Every structure is written in structure tokens, then in C-alpha cells.
Amino acid sequence: MNKLVLWGILITAAMLVFTYMAVGGSKGGLNGDIINILAITGAVVIVLISVFVVVKYVRQMQTDTATGELADENWDGIGEYKNELPMGWAVLFLILNIWAIWYMLMGYPVNAYSQIGEYNEDTKAHNAKFEAKYASITGDDLVDMGESVFLAECKVCHGLTADGIDGKAANLNQRLEAKSVKHVVENGSNFLGYPAPMPDRNGLFNMNTGALITDAEIASVATYVANGMKGDGADIFSGTCAACHGADGKGMEMVAPNIATFDIATVKTILDHGKKGAIGVMPAFERLNEKQKEAVGAYISSISK
């Protein structure tokens, strides 16, 4: 027997054994589970076709000599023969297309049952029930709910007291720290949820001077915002930032966020879209429903300065 064919048989046998062990040894195995049966059937077909094609064409390269009519085109003297499409390729292509159509329409239709689909439907129903039950909750009750959600979802990074655990995450006891303001002014910010991003320092002019904002002005306005919109830097803020964030820093709807204090809308926007800042990236929290996000916003607003 040709050594190449022997290697092909050995590799095929090994791959089939590994495939069976992987699927058969998994939870549920092949005991009537149509998904696992289809998976191992597809794997067997792929293994057989792949090994057959490799063996066939490696042997052909070892023994065949080039013959036939050359095409008119060539690349640096390298031409191409006008050979017909091999029948084997055409047959395999047709069989695989038939398999794909059967699999999509009959073997495992797009709208068939899936555990992920069931989980998503159950989650959607639960969230609708949750929001209907707590739709009217406000005030201290909403803050209490927000604290519970915070302790379950947010304390891992922000800490039990929302202090950010020594810079691991943002300190939520104050709206913004100076380093965060400085980072945004220097690098810009695409605060998702608003139509236009904030430009970096090369697009920020101090209207009082008519010039681009300077390093000293950035440091001053960062301290001003971090200090709760108090102290030195008010003139720079009014000349550079107030046009979008408002004279009081509380933002403008669909223009810029509130940077003076936390409010429910700002927190919900961050939870919806995530945020990139001076200390890294915070992911979006899609698993929270709208009422939970509102409650977290109420809680954070209640504890921040």
C-alpha cells in the first residue's frame, strides 16, 4: 500500500476517534441529541473529504506531469493551463451545497428551539414583569433598589463604598476627578448617547482669548470641574466648555452630558453604552433592565457630591 494512503487512513482514523470522544463524551453525548448527531456527522464528512482531497492531490503532484493548452495570459513567464474543472470538485461542491440547504431548512432550521433563544425570551418576559411591578417606585424606595443593584453588579470594580478601590474604577462619590477631566479635554470623548463627540484639545478654543486651550488652562479647568464647579478656572470654563455643557455644567439635552453632578440620565447613558476614560474602559451593562438602570442612577446621584 502506498505510504501516503496509509498515512491518510491513520490520520482519518485518529481524527474520527478524537471527534467521537469530544462529542460522545460531552454532556448528553449522542443519546438522541439531534444537535450532537448532526455535529459529529458533519465532522465525519469534513474529515473524510479533507483527507481524500489532500491524499489525491498530493499523489497527483508526485506523479503527474503538466500537459494541455496554455492560456494566452501569463505572469512573468508563468502560464496557466486551460484545464476543465475536475469532476470530483464539482460533485463535492454540489453535495456540500445540498447539505447546507438541508441543514438550514430541515436539519436545524433558523427558527428552531435553542437554549439561548429560550433564555433570551425568559429574560425579556422577566424584565417586562419586573418593570411593570416596580413602574411606580420613586424616591427613597428607588434609591434603595439602586443600592441593591449596585452591590450586586457594580461593587466588584467600584467598591462597597463606590470609591473606585484606589483607582481600579471611577470614584462615584464625586462626579469627576481632575485627572478624568484633563484626559477628556486632551483626548476628546465619544460619550455615546450624544450625536456628536467632544473634540480633543486641538478643537477647543478659549473664546475669551481666541486661541486654542493651553496646558495651564486645561489644568485649571480640570481642577474647577473636579471641585464641583467652584474656585479658580470659572472664566476658562465659561469661555471654552459652557457652550456645550451649560454655564452651570449640567449639560444640554442631545448636546453634552452633565459634568457638574450625577443624574439618572447620565448614569443610564453610561450603563447603556459603557465609557472610556483616563483609567480604562467600562463595559455596557445590557443585562440590567431600564428600571434597574434608573435605580442605579438614583442611588449614585444620592451618594455623590
Which range, of 15-19, 84-88, 205-209, averages the lowest pLDDT?
15-19
SS3 label, residue 259: coil
SS3 label, residue 281: strand
81, 222: one domain:
no
Average pLDDT on 91-119 reads 84
Note whether residue 122 is domain-resident.
no
49, 159: one domain:
no
R_g of the chain, CA atoms, integer Å? 32
Note whether residue 47 is domain-resident.
yes
pLDDT of the residue at 23 = 66
99, 143: one domain:
no
Note whether residue 121 is domain-resident.
no
Structural domain range at position 36: 3-111
Note whether residue 299 is domain-resident.
yes
**Residue 276 near residue 246 (C-beta atoms within 8 A):** no
92, 159: one domain:
no
* Residue pLDDT, tens place only, 214-240: 999 999 999 999 999 999 999 999 999
Long-range contacts of 164-172 (CB under 8 A, 24+ apart): 167/279, 168/279, 169/279, 169/282, 170/277, 170/279, 170/282, 172/262, 172/300, 172/303, 172/304
Full-model pTM: 0.63
Separation of alpha carbons 13 and 10, rounded Å = 5
pLDDT of the residue at 276 = 87
Q: Is the pLDDT of residue 27 over 70?
A: no
167, 276: one domain:
yes
- Domains of the chain: total: 2
- Check residue 93 and report its DSSP letter: H
Separation of alpha carbons 23 and 89, rounded Å = 29
Q: Is the pLDDT of residue 161 over 90?
A: yes
15, 69: one domain:
yes
Note whether residue 213 is domain-resident.
yes
Separation of alpha carbons 96 and 52, rounded Å = 15
167, 299: one domain:
yes
Q: Which residue has the higher pLDDT, 272 or 106?
A: 272
**Residue 302 near residue 140 (C-beta atoms within 8 A):** no
151, 256: one domain:
yes
Separation of alpha carbons 204 and 212, rounded Å = 6
Task: Locate all alpha helices (DSSP H) within 175-214, ordered by sequence.
Answer: 178-187
Which range, of 30-34, 81-85, 140-144, averages the lowest pLDDT?
30-34
